[in-house]
Structure 1
Amino acid sequence: MSPRFLCLPGYLQSGKLFAEKSSGLRKSLTKKKFELLYIDPPVVIKSKEELPFKLSEDEVEANSKWNSIVEQGINRAWWKHSDALGYEGFQESLHYLTKYIKENGPFDGIIGFSQGAAMASIMTNTISRLLDQEFKIAIFFSGFVFTDVENPNDDKTSLNYDIKDIAEYSSKVTIVHGYEEYYLPGASTLNTKIINIYGSEDAAVPAIRSEYLTSIYNGKATVEEYVHDGGHYLPNKKQFLNPIVESVVNVFEEKASL
C-alpha cells in the first residue's frame, strides 16, 4: 500500500489551490508512489471585514477581490486570529482534523503550509494522545508556533522582524498561555521525522518564527531544516526539492527494512 500524506493548506487557501501551489513536491512524491490527500480548512471567513488586512484602499476594488476569493472557495482558514479573540476556530479545526484522520486514516505523513504548517505541527505533536497514532514524517513550509512576548513591554512584531539570533529570540518569547500542551511539554519525544522548510526573506512568517518551530523539536525528534532564499511561497525547483524528496523516501525505506 502506498504511503499516504495529509496536506493542510494555508490561510485563504483550499486543498485544490494548495495542490497547485505545491506542484513540484506533489509531482515528485507522486512519481515515487506516495499518495497526497489535500483537504479544505473548516473555518469559513464570511466577510472581508474578518480579514486581518485590507484587500484594497478602494472599496470597489476590495469588494471585487473579496468576491473572487469567495468564488474560488478559498475564504477558509484553520483559525481566525485577533488579540481580542485569540485563535478563534482552533478547537473546531483540531476536532475536525482528529475526526477526519480517524475516519479516513491512518496517514503516514502530514504536510502543511503557513497556517496549515502550524496546524500540522500541532497535529504531529498531539496525534499520539488523540488517536494513539504517529506520523512517520511531517513536512512544514513556512510554519510557526503560537507565541507571545515574555516581557509585556516588548513589541511582538518588532521581535519577529528585527531579531535574527534564535537564542535571543527564544529568550524573549513564550508559547501562548493555554496552548503549551500542543508543543511537546516535559520530556515528550516523537518518532516522527520533522522536515522544516522556510524562506529567509519571508515577510508574512519571518524566518525567525520558523526557526523557533525547529527549536521546539530539538532533543525530542529528528529534524532537518531547509532554507530557501525566497519569501512566503512553496519552492518548486527540483534542485531545492530533490534532497527533501530523497529524505522522505529514506524514511520509508528505513521503516521497511526494520
Structure 2
Amino acid sequence: MCTVIIRVPEDPRRPTRVIAIRDEDPGRPWNPLGRWWPDSHPGVIGVHDVRAGGAWLAADPATSRFAVLLNRADDGTLPDDAVVSRGTLPLASVSGHSPSGSPRSRGFNLLEASPAGARVLSWDGASLRTTDLTPGTHMIAHDDLDDPQTARITAWLPVFAAADTDSDPWWTQWLRVIEQSAELAATDDRALIRDHRHIGIPTLSLLVAVASIDPDGVEVRDAVLPAPGEWGPLTFGDAPAGR
C-alpha cells in the first residue's frame, strides 16, 4: 500500500517531480538505490528487492525514464505457480518495455514518467488500463489515480497541490506535508506513514524516495525512515552518478 505523489509540469521542458513512500514487510530484504542489474539492465538505478531480484522503483538517467510500482488488488484467478514477480515491471519499463496484454502478475499500478509525459498502467487481473496524467499534482495508492475513495488522497492531495516544488531542495515543502501527516497514527486510513499490521498485512512504511525527471536525465535519491512506520528527520544521499 505504497503512496506516490507526482507533479506534471505544464511546460515539458520543466521537471516532473515525484515523491514515493514505500510500504513493505520489514523482514523482506532489500537494497537501497544502486545499480543492481549491471548485466540485464546496465546503467539502471533502482531500489532492489533481494528476494525476487526485481525493483520497487527504477530509473534510467540515460533515457530520462522513471518507473515506480504500487500493489493493488486483483481478481485472484492467476495460480501461484504462474505468477511473475511484479518487480520485473519497473525494470522493463525504464528499458522501454511497458506492460501489455494480460500481465502474468498480481495486480499493480505502475507509474511511468519521462519528458514525454507521465501515465499510470493499472492491472486488476482482468483488464490493463492506461491513464495519462494531465499537468498538475496527482496521487496514487492501491486503487485508481486521484481516487476520492482513498482516505489519504482525499486528505492530502489538495495540500500537496498547494505546496511549492521550486524551493531548494525542491522536495522541502512536500516533506513538510508528510511530516504534518505523521501527526496521525500510522494505523489511520489518512496516514501517509503507515502501519498495516492491524488489518493483518505485515507492511509498514520504510523508505522515501524523491525523483526529478527532465530532458537532461533523472535525479533520484532515497532515505530510510528512522524505524518502520515512524516518521523522523530524513537524510537523502547523493544522487547516484549518471544524470
The TM-score with structure 1 as length reference comes to: 0.29
Higher Cα radius of gyration: 1
RCO greater where, 1 or 2, for CA within 8 Å and sep 6 or more? Answer: 2
Bigger share in strand? 2
TM-score, with length taken from structure 2: 0.30
